[in-house]
Structure 1
């Protein structure tokens, strides 16, 4: 599939909040941002349905990930923020974010995901949520929860917040504190979960999984049920950015991973109609790579705190890409014609074995950022793919590192690698 340099939108989706069956007022649970269909996991790969080729137009993105800030009180060793984070003094203003939301609705975007860092560190979050509701956008707050109060959450709900996604580090309080380097975090998250339930908001629990909490997966599932979550994302760590620094401390063994497959499959069947599971596998144990954001520049846009618009969360790690900013270019124009979005959109950029592969419009050759980080060339096949010449070496790394004792975490904070303890 090849897309021409200048595109137009195939259609414009009406930005009505109930226009999508998934987002109706009766069932306000949020589809996952990355995908994670309810299906057997015997191949351990996220499957995407290939989109038909379109010669002269592009579909509007369904989702917009808004990184409101990179500020965060936690120090997680798998932090997904870029190595070079945006400072608070260059963050977009309230008015600029509000303009982004209105542009998103005009473009046909349906969902906005308010993320960070920790989005509740922004004092204007209520205003941003209100503008999203006024624009007809379905809003999802992705939060660690530790900065929230009940009063503030109620105000967010009153202003139109549709959904809360709450991250947890473990179901064991002591280990959760150790992982996040934040004392009392799990207790606070339990409080937030109770408030979400009281206010009638749908809740997704996000549980990043790794070798230092993986044995507690059954307890994590129980915790999600206790909190009243409608969806649980069991997300094995993806080893980009800061997580790559901690790969040896986080990588589970293959046996541990396979056990999580069994646990999730059993729980998915047992809790059918009660709890929806999204399961994200570690690339190192996958047969095929996951499609980057469902295909580069095809479904999701990402805006950094300073206003740069990215095709994927980690795209800034690729050298030579030019990223437009919402301060100087309209969102629709960036989506359709921005050079970063054009770079790996479609399939013409592919080399072998991707170019002739039957899966080229299913997984799109895998993650471009991972391909660059591990091979030095963003156009190479993602080593997560079994067809990559580097796949065997890639798997060997996981086997070796997971078999050794876990080293100490390198925590995500400015000024050193030892945790600074804070009180919730």
Structure 2
């Protein structure tokens, strides 16, 4: 079967989606300034898939070859059917991971997850101080998160902490790692903010300087040497501070698939920002068609869609031109080289963003927290002045 990718014929590739991310709801009690959910999530909150529909998604994805299941949101614990989903995932042979803020996790529920076969719980932490935790999430959850961490440990789950790093907590890396060690963490991901969704809107307020990133990585490496294999620590460098882009999602439509709360099927978190693309929905033709035959999933497979300098670049197999969403959000052209790449004609956009991170006037702009009111503002155009530098609602 052949399709047209931007006017170029391309063959459909039947790859295997190893990882299924189920974004089962966009509802969330936290209001994080860096949330990766779409800023226009309010229009996607209606018509959440039912329990039965989610179970069908799990079954269909397993038939396609999916092995790992992430249960995410929003805050997935706001749904009362995760226990049923976990049981079905276990029957189907998934390795399942609950990605949570901890809000809504009780002794009763965690016991049910354990009995149902949930393999893994990833808990988000935000800082060592109550002040910054509560500020950046716009909620009072600091003490709750520590209690939930202890609950996870007491039920013999691997202690997996995810800490999003930004200007407000990057000076606390050593203390954050010491806190994780005290909590008995087995794995810690220091995930430097990547600028999509709400974090792109708040980029000027969140982005650290290059010097802060370098120092944070140095502190992380020193801590790794001290603890050895006792605790695995991952430091994720932000795209903006790399000379070459990442191979986004290990390739568009290659190994990763998201099903959103309302049933849309996406190759990456931010794909709906891309213009002139209609993404499939599981209520229509199902997952197999979405993955194998839909125009959206085949749009950026392979390299026939590439423009220069990517088309003839000797490194194109390593990065596939970078992230299509980032290319569009920053340059307005989804087929262009990711501006992160130093060879991109739009690399100056990244350089300016890094310089802006040092500007105290920009840093002092008010943060637009993730909540229903602000999502509606973005949808209505009331917040256009805050997103005027970007080419789409991220």
TM-score, with structure 2 as normaliser: 0.89
Deviation track 1:191-250 (CA, whole Å, cap 9, x = no partner) reads 111111111111321110011111011111112222222211111111112111111110
Query: Which of 212, 215, 224 does residue 268 from structure 1 map onto?
Result: 224
| Equivalent position of 2:169 in the other structure | 213
Query: Which of 252, 255, 266 does residue 296 from structure 1 map onto?
Result: 252
Query: Which of 341, 346, 353 does residue 302 from structure 2 map onto?
Result: 346
SS at match of 2:188: strand
CA contact (8 A) 1:150 1:192 kept: no
The Cα RMSD (Å) is: 1.9
How far apart are the structure 1 equivalents of 2:288 and 2:155? 35
The structure-2 alpha-carbon separation of the partners of 1:389 and 1:87, relative to structure 1 and needing over 3 Å to count, comes to closer
| Equivalent position of 1:65 in the other structure | 21
SS at match of 1:235: strand
CA contact (8 A) 2:77 2:103 kept: no
Instruction: Give the drift of 1:403.
Output: 3.5
| Equivalent position of 1:361 in the other structure | 317
| Equivalent position of 2:113 in the other structure | 156
| TM superposition outliers: structure 1 runs of 4+ over 3 Å | 3-6, 86-89
CA contact (8 A) 1:208 1:236 kept: yes
CA contact (8 A) 1:232 1:276 kept: yes
| Equivalent position of 1:147 in the other structure | 104
Instruction: Give the drift of 1:415.
Output: 2.4
CA contact (8 A) 1:382 1:388 kept: yes
| Equivalent position of 1:105 in the other structure | 62
| Equivalent position of 2:293 in the other structure | 337
The structure-2 alpha-carbon separation of the partners of 1:126 and 1:273, relative to structure 1 and needing over 3 Å to count, comes to same
- How does 1:89-238 map onto structure 2 within 5 Å? 89-183=46-140, 185-238=141-194
How far apart are the structure 2 equivalents of 1:88 and 1:388? 36
CA contact (8 A) 2:102 2:148 kept: yes
Instruction: Give the drift of 1:275.
Output: 1.7
How far apart are the structure 1 equivalents of 2:286 and 2:336? 31
| Equivalent position of 1:325 in the other structure | 281
CA contact (8 A) 1:254 1:399 kept: no
| Equivalent position of 2:372 in the other structure | 414
Query: Which of 78, 96, 104 does residue 34 from structure 2 map onto?
Result: 78
How far apart are the structure 2 equivalents of 1:295 and 1:180? 31
SS at match of 2:316: coil
SS at match of 1:129: helix
| Equivalent position of 1:43 in the other structure | none
Deviation track 1:345-382 (CA, whole Å, cap 9, x = no partner) reads 11111111111122212111111011001111100001
How far apart are the structure 2 equivalents of 1:146 and 1:249? 26
Deviation track 1:378-413 (CA, whole Å, cap 9, x = no partner) reads 000011111112213421222223342522321111
How far apart are the structure 1 equivalents of 2:12 and 2:350? 38
| Equivalent position of 2:234 in the other structure | 278
SS at match of 2:230: coil
The structure-2 alpha-carbon separation of the partners of 1:339 and 1:117, relative to structure 1 and needing over 3 Å to count, comes to same
Instruction: Give the drift of 1:56.
Output: 7.5
| Equivalent position of 1:383 in the other structure | 339
How far apart are the structure 1 equivalents of 2:25 and 2:92? 22
How far apart are the structure 2 equivalents of 1:210 and 1:247? 10
TM-score, with structure 1 as normaliser: 0.83
SS at match of 1:272: helix
- How does 1:45-56 map onto structure 2 within 5 Å? none
Instruction: Give the drift of 1:88.
Output: 4.5
How far apart are the structure 2 equivalents of 1:410 and 1:341? 32
How far apart are the structure 2 equivalents of 1:147 and 1:129? 16
- Mark the runs of 5 or more structure 2 residues left unpaired by the alignment: 5-10, 376-394
How far apart are the structure 1 equivalents of 2:183 and 2:285? 42
- Mark the runs of 5 or more structure 1 residues left unpaired by the alignment: 7-54, 418-424
The structure-2 alpha-carbon separation of the partners of 1:224 and 1:87, relative to structure 1 and needing over 3 Å to count, comes to same
How far apart are the structure 2 equivalents of 1:4 and 1:112? 31
Deviation track 1:301-337 (CA, whole Å, cap 9, x = no partner) reads 0111000100101000001112111112231221111
Instruction: Give the drift of 1:57.
Output: 4.7
